[in-house]
Amino acid sequence: MCGIMGYVGHRNVVSMLVDGLRRLEYRGYDSAGIAYFEEGEIEVKRSVGKLSSLEEILPPLPPDSPSGIGHTRWATHGKPSEENAHPHRSGSLVLVHNGIIENYISLKKGLLEEGHEFVSDTDTEVVVHLIDSIYQRGGSLETAVKNALVQMHGSYAICVLSEKDPERMIAVRSGCPLVIGLGKDECFVASDIPAFLSHTREVVYLEDGEIALLSAKGLEVLDFKGARLSKESQKISWNPVMAEKGGYRHFLQKEIHEQPRAIVDTIRGRVAQEEGEVILGAAEINEAVVKRCKRVVLVGCGTSWHAALVGKFLLEEIAGLPVEVDIASEFRYRDPHLSSEDLVIGISQSGETADTLAAIREAKSKNTPTLSICNVVGSSISRETDTVFYTHAGPEISVASTKAFTTQLTALTLLAIHLGRRRAVLSKEKAQEMIHHLILLPKQIEEILRHEARIEDIAKRYFRYRDFLYLARGLLYPVALEGALKLKEISYIHAEGYPAGEMKHGPIALIDENMPVVILATKDKVYGKVISNVMEVKARGGMIISFAEEGDTDLASISDEIFFIPKVSPSLSPILMTIPLQMLAYHISVTRGTDVDQPRNLAKSVTVE
């Protein structure tokens, strides 16, 4: 985790760093720090807590500095403290790091023997001392960095600055994201694009094993052996306003409201309604892979895993393929049986989740074709899979995933229709009908969003309860999991999602007059059984908050609260049902006064195991 940022150029370095780090805080926010030049010497400022604490100790009139680096931390080695905050220093060098250096203990031992002194518990401090130890023996900083890299094991993105060369900085990527922004007479480096999006859209993605030399004159990229590489820059389409709050109180609320637009962008250019076809374009799967495919394996973490659970229903029913779903962090450890007749699909908003990336690598090591469903263009997962289906949800800043989830579900629906047609198991008429419903979806979401006040009202009545149970069946069961995850991660209320039929096998013991039970139900083949579950909860004094299709008077008559979603085809009900659950979690959290966009202990991209 952690966000790193570097700037070299003509603008005020301190404000550029602070501004960039603010947009990277979603990656970690237990401490922050920056390094810049003041009268030829490097000044380091660090502080525990969020960026606002750091800002309090920064000079009111920042000096002119040719370059600088910054960091916002999510602790791995060493508790959040000023000593453990980055940048770390050794001799004339300062360094920021994202990732983990696995052999830092043995490296530290050698450096201690050489006489180096350490002030933090971090693996990062070892890296700056290692580079410095080599640098002090003579030669260029770039050679010192290169020679240090061969001794380091683990995953990292680092950025180094030397007091001896203030107009240049060096950044390295090996396993953690790093992207370069190119401006006029200036260069940026950051863990993610929003850090510099308001200044440039011209980007170069660093690959693993690449070293970037940045100066106001431009960028040079080398491989770890020092050979010069030629890299193409790309113009990204995100605009800075997309990464701002746009008048909403929180990024989370903004991102919930962006879902109609985000889904339009996921569908855009991918459907031919009259022909009943889904065109994947750049995400097209090789013909031989489709022909050979006997099974799909979906992997992801957190919310993306919930999307995978819905994806199983969609792909099995629409594309007629057997599907397995794995939590990415478990996948490689059970030595999964994989072959070239499988297709492994990694689902990830960030495209940087270490476990999902490792699952993809596991599949590739067994010659299994891979595809990713990903939001962040150019991310590691998108580059390592054979094919990538971008969701185009735009930057998701709030730590809790919202639009990423519903666009993943949209992508999975499109993929299922596409595969169903290519495998000749889905008729043209059925595909036309499904596409028609997909196209209506954004308007239906807008309709739900118009009733936010009703959700706020429910939130105000239930925000004091300590436990919530979310029950649903079939395709809506993963949505119950997702609703519960949203509530627990942003409001810190304990919440569980359960398949409604499982309630009587244990969770029913929890039900009493202090347990709100959220019910998700549409009028499908198990509707009657869900009604029975509701009666069982009521008989034990539990409160019922139902989310149902409009016109469902039966459920309304036995619920304490009811919120209606528009009528929708069954395969799309997970998308619509998710929206009010996101709003419920949001308003409960706002009422409880928690930090909605940056909940405690979490980070947006989990780039460590």
> Which residue in the shown chain puts its C-beta closest to ligand M6R?
302
Instruction: Give CA separation, 506 vs 400, 468, 511, in Å.
Output: 29, 15, 10
User: Could you give the CA distance from residue 149 to residue 130 in angstroms, rounded to a whole number?
Assistant: 9
Contact letters for ligand M6R, residues 349-368 (x by CB under 6 A)? xx--x--x------------
Site for ligand M6R in 285-324 (CB under 6 A): 301-304
Q: How far is the CB of 168 from ligand M6R (least distance, A)?
A: 33
Which of 108, 403 has the CB closer to ligand M6R?
Answer: 403
Q: What is the secondary structure of 551-588 as a DSSP string?
A: T-HHHHHH-SEEEEE----GGGHHHHHHHHHHHHHHHH
State yes or no: is 301 an active-site residue.
no
Task: Residue 533: count other Cβ atoms within 10 Å of its Cβ.
Answer: 25
Site for ligand M6R in 95-124 (CB under 6 A): none
| Contact predicate 238/558, CB 8 Å | no
Contact letters for ligand M6R, residues 333-352 (x by CB under 6 A)? ---------------xxx--
First CA to last CA across the chain, in angstroms? 10
Which of 243, 301 has the CB closer to ligand M6R?
Answer: 301
Is there binding between residue 84 and ligand M6R (CB under 6 A)? no
State yes or no: is 176 an active-site residue.
no
Phi, psi of 33 (to 5 degrees): -165, 160
Is there binding between residue 478 and ligand M6R (CB under 6 A)? no
Stretch that binds ligand M6R, among 25-33, 393-401, 409-417, 436-444 (CB under 6 A): 393-401
Q: How far is the CB of 293 from ligand M6R (least distance, A)?
A: 24
Site for ligand M6R in 15-54 (CB under 6 A): none
Stretch that binds ligand M6R, among 101-109, 455-463, 468-476, 599-607 (CB under 6 A): 599-607
Which of 194, 276 has the CB closer to ligand M6R?
Answer: 194
Sign of the dihedral defined by the CA atoms of residues 46, 52, 58, 63, in that order? positive
DSSP code at position 475: G
Q: Which of 128, 325, 400, 581 binds ligand M6R (CB under 6 A)?
A: 400
| Contact predicate 403/396, CB 8 Å | yes
Q: How far is the CB of 255 from ligand M6R (least distance, A)?
A: 11
Catalytic residue, from 45, 146, 312, 604: name it: 604
> Each residue of 257-281: b (16+ CB within 10 Å) or e?
bbbbbbbbbbbeebbeeeebbbebe
Which of 588, 602 has the CB closer to ligand M6R?
Answer: 602
Sign of the dihedral defined by the CA atoms of residues 314, 267, 604, 89, in that order? positive
Position 452, amino acid: E
Is there binding between residue 399 and ligand M6R (CB under 6 A)? yes
Q: Which of 401, 410, 491, 522 binds ligand M6R (CB under 6 A)?
A: 401
Q: How far is the CB of 88 from ligand M6R (least distance, A)?
A: 27
CA dihedral 409, 415, 417, 420 (to 10 degrees): -130
Residue 222, token pair as written in the block: 């080398």
Q: Would you tell me which residues interact with ligand M6R (CB under 6 A)? A: 301-304, 348-350, 353, 356, 399-401, 489, 602, 605-606
Query: Mind telling me the catalytic residues?
Result: 2, 604
